Structure 1
Amino acid sequence: MTEPFQVMPPLTAEEYAALRADIAEHGVIVPVVVDEAGVILDGHHRAQVCAELGVDFPTVVRAGLDDAGKRSTARALNMARRHLTRTQRRQIIADEIRADTEASDRAIGRRLGVDHKTVASVRRELRGDDMITDRTLADALGAFRTAVEQLVETGELPHPDDMFAPARAAIAAAENVDREQAVAALTEVMRLGQQAVNLAAEVKIRAQRDLGEAIEKVKAGLGERTRSQITELMRKPGAAAALAEACNMELRYRRRQGVTS
């Protein structure tokens, strides 16, 4: 059974037979959720059983959703009602993260009715963060992620020192770990920093121009600045400095390892 908003795998033969017997005896207790056009968002198996039995079923309409919103609704309803294994639950969370990469762990947790720490754990698996075993680096990266999540949640930019001190700490810690951990951490620092800058631009808090200029300089090959020059750069407020240093660090690390872009 292929449906556009069927986010779960088919029931096993045993599960389907049990559902069919229950509906035959009691009818459909939980309404099938549909959009304004009657397309099923949740309850595909219930609807199929009712078609086989020739009986009607109650429906509830969820209107005004785009396709992404319909899939998110389907995931949330399945998380709330269906008996899922740990692997299945984490797969639904992973699908929601992939569908909305800008949403915070807390936002996704609220949608799916799960703890934001569980969402964070799944996100780490998707990013490969679990490979970061260095405690100093993991703590610094976690602190920066928390700061960016607070920005996402509130729409207010913290003081630059509070916002990017954890980013600077993560960048510094990355110099003392193996290459795989360093690359994973620096990639995440840059992703989080870009997310923060994008939101800051949306709420008209931080100018995007400085960031663009800083990244263009790095792209032009100015990644080999001396530590004193980088320190001077970091005295500038805002995301541009943090991201420029992240780019610098990655370029220097790649050159030390003989890796070209």
Structure 2
Amino acid sequence: MIDKYNKRMRGIVILFTIVTACLAYGPDTESDCFRNSVWQPNNVLIKLLNFFYDSIALTSADTCFPQRRFVSVITFAKTILVSRNSTNFAGSIEIAKIETEKQLNKPAAPLAGPFRGIIDRLLNVIDQPINDVLASCKPETYDEECQIMLKHYRTRHEKQCKGYYKNVEVYNSITNWANQEDTIDYIEELTRRSNRKESDTEALDFFENAATKKYRNVYKEFRDIFMQVKNDFFNCNSLTFINTNCI
């Protein structure tokens, strides 16, 4: 079963490499590229998750890439922040920064590992809803047909696995989050800053400023989504529908 899960996750990562001229961030359902309102937001989510997979360190070889070190330091602090179930958000930011400073003697890969785990945990819940959209709402599919097919898939999966609607709810939340202007701006600024090859201290300063001021809502909303996944029970996951349907 673990091998099947790993293959499933690798399949999702492959899907993340889909990049065409039509996959711009700004939704435009009237364009020649998109004939429905669902495909593009789904692909914005895919591209955002792909960004984190591609931008954080994976192995010791990534030590040679200061860009990945920069993002890995930030995501380590972010992991501590979003994992804390505290109403004192400002206090959690300070704790995340202090705890990250204690780990800066480590290579980039161990720093990146915990956040990669968060992404995998989210994917375990939203994997099938992502695939529902890919199957139902291709760019050339008109909106009415897209909605009918999407409802068909979700109804079928709910019958196969009671509680699937909760997976769809998380998918809707994280898709809305990924498509917000502030989230997109945050990712673009993070990319620019990482390309400057800045230090660990500068990475933590960026994290603190982003979480406390400029992108506070981006961090808070992501934490709320992760807490929903962390604290709730999901009867359906990425293993549930293996071999039951194909896209």
TM-score normalised per structure 2: 0.27
Q: Which structure's relative contact order is higher, taking Cα pairs within 8 Å and 6+ residues apart?
A: 2
Query: TM-score if structure 1 supplies the norm length?
Result: 0.25
